[in-house]
Amino acid sequence: MLHRAQATIDRPQGWRDYVVPQRWEEFTDDDHAVWDLLFARQVELLGTRVVTPFLDGIDLLRLSHPGVPDLGELNAILEPRTGWRTVAVTGLVPDEIFFAMLSERVFPVGNFIRRREQLDYLEEPDCFHDLFGHIPMLANHDYAEMIEHVGRLGGAAIAAGEGHRVARIYWHSVEFGLALEEGDLKILGAGLASSFGEAHFSLESDSVDRLPFSVPRAVRTDYRNDVFQPLYLVSESVEATVGEILATSAEELLAI
Ligand SMILES: [Fe+2]
């Protein structure tokens, strides 16, 4: 997810200043057990309710391997495949840092995992959200290219004082988007794929609105990050949304 700055900085920072060692060896047995519990529960919950490239990514990246993933081992598979790699961060990074990372095919992953008492409540995304929710789709070549493009659009939009335009595109596709796949409504976004409560809700609730995704509609649609979404945008297909976002230039985005 992307949001607010949390670091107090006294000199200009690049994204590399936010990278920390993952210190995988410091995850406890209970941390690994929490990952295993979350992973097993979410895979069962999702079944085939999530888009196919997501399920392919779980397999390709061997995310079903027990325990919190070691980012070095994960990158050894991911980077040769699509040029993306993960880095550890301590929490949410400022939007300009986040988009700068994306533009260089670097995905930030929290260096912590929720506690057992907090399985369904998170103040900010932990490594289960980041790794289970986001990383499978980065094994897909077209989606990988799209996210890099979102990073470039984000940098341009922030420079123009219009960062919210890209934040909304990201929110309504990469985080909380739905997508049609051979006529079936599926989960696309990482925020849904990694959520125990909202995954089924997004597909099945009859108290929410679902409207077709388009870049202009996403840009004009605000969102809430503290409650289940009252509105989901539905991609005609993953490929269609990837194509539409890739075809959007910064100039076009700022003219919406
Ligand atoms: Fe996220």
Residue range 27-61, pLDDT digits in tens? 999 999 999 999 999 999 999 999 999 999 999 99
Residue range 4-23, pLDDT digits in tens? 444 555 556 799 999 999 99
102 CA from centroid of ligand 1 (Å)? 12
Residue range 88-132, pLDDT digits in tens? 999 999 999 999 999 999 999 999 999 999 988 777 899 999 999
228 CA from centroid of ligand 1 (Å)? 15
**Which spans in the chain are helix H?**
29-46, 52-60, 71-82, 95-103, 127, 141-159, 163-170, 190-193, 198-204, 215-220, 238-246, 250-255
pTM for the whole thing? 0.94
Strands 209-212 vs 231-235: parallel, antiparallel or unpaired: parallel
User: What is the pLDDT, as a whole number, of residue 1?
Assistant: 46
Cα-trace Rg, the chain:
17
2 CA from centroid of ligand 1 (Å)? 7
194 CA from centroid of ligand 1 (Å)? 9
Residue range 226-240, pLDDT digits in tens? 899 999 999 999 999
Tell me the average pLDDT across 132-155. 98
190 CA from centroid of ligand 1 (Å)? 6
170 CA from centroid of ligand 1 (Å)? 9
